[in-house]
Amino acid sequence: MKGENFFDGTTNITVMGGMVRVDMGVLVADPNNPNAPVLESRERFVTPLQGFIKMYDDFTKIIQKLEEGGMVKRNPDANNQLSS
């Protein structure tokens, strides 16, 4: 592994021609409202659809383990979104 990058989340995901493009972002201060940070795109990674599906499966397994360990739980009042 060559390096490590930090991201707060995704800003966009698109699929074109069998490739998935995921735009990653970091929280930055909004000049108009410093108390409300905004997610700003910083970098994109591109992977074949099969690679994206594999990542999805891997993330799903990790989330299941986190739920089983009580580190995250689903919120039924928010469409079962996860929270820590």
Query: Per-residue pLDDT tens for 30-62?
Result: 988 888 999 999 999 999 999 999 999 999 999
Annotated domain spans of the chain? 9-83
Q: Per mean pLDDT, which range of 20-34, 42-56, 67-81 is the poorest?
A: 67-81
Question: Within 13 A of 4's CA, how many CA atoms are on the CB side?
Answer: 1
Q: Give the residue from 4, 3, 47, 5 showing the smallest Cα distance to 22.
A: 47
CB of 37 within 8 A of CB of 47?
Answer: no
pLDDT at 70 over 80: yes
